[in-house]
Amino acid sequence: MKVLVINGPNINFLGIREKNIYGTKNYENLCSYIKDESKKLEVDVDILQSNIEGEIIGYIQDAYEKYDGIVINPGAYTHYSIAIYDALKSVSIKTVEVHISNIHSREEFRRKSVTAPACIGQICGFGFYGYIMAIMGLIKEDEV
């Protein structure tokens, strides 16, 4: 199985931003963790990050017919990017939305995801492990 992990705005500032919410591990720690755990699951994974909505849409469109699944953390775009929602729907690749923090226990505006309905599921609040849970969900979904 081949999975594309897409991280949205400010995820590259892990370890710098809001340590009380996101912890002290940095973006490189996250990428290494995902790659190491994916190897154990025998999943080929590529990881991309952008702070720019159009680039994220480009990553999604470029995944068409190249990947079996997408794991996406749209960051703040979660709450208002109909364009990312449309891109996910257009490629018909099984996708899981993931968030490091529990978006449902944070500010009211963070509790609504406009991108999650384009996904087979949403995982939030489990830190870095949420990415692995998302990949495992794609594996199980692929077995059905």
Q: Which of 22, 67, 77, 131 is catalytic?
A: 22
Q: List, in sequence order, the alpha helices (H) in the chain.
A: 19-22, 27-40, 53-62, 82-91, 129-143
CA distance 138 to 135: 5
Q: Which of 59, 77, 99, 131 is catalytic?
A: 99
| DSSP SS3 for 52 | coil
Encoded tokens for 90 = 């257009």
CA distance 126 to 99: 8
CA distance 100 to 123: 8
- Is 99 catalytic? The answer is yes
Measured in degrees and rounded to the nearest 5, phi and psi for residue 13 equal -100, 20
- Is 59 catalytic? The answer is no
Active site residues: 22, 99
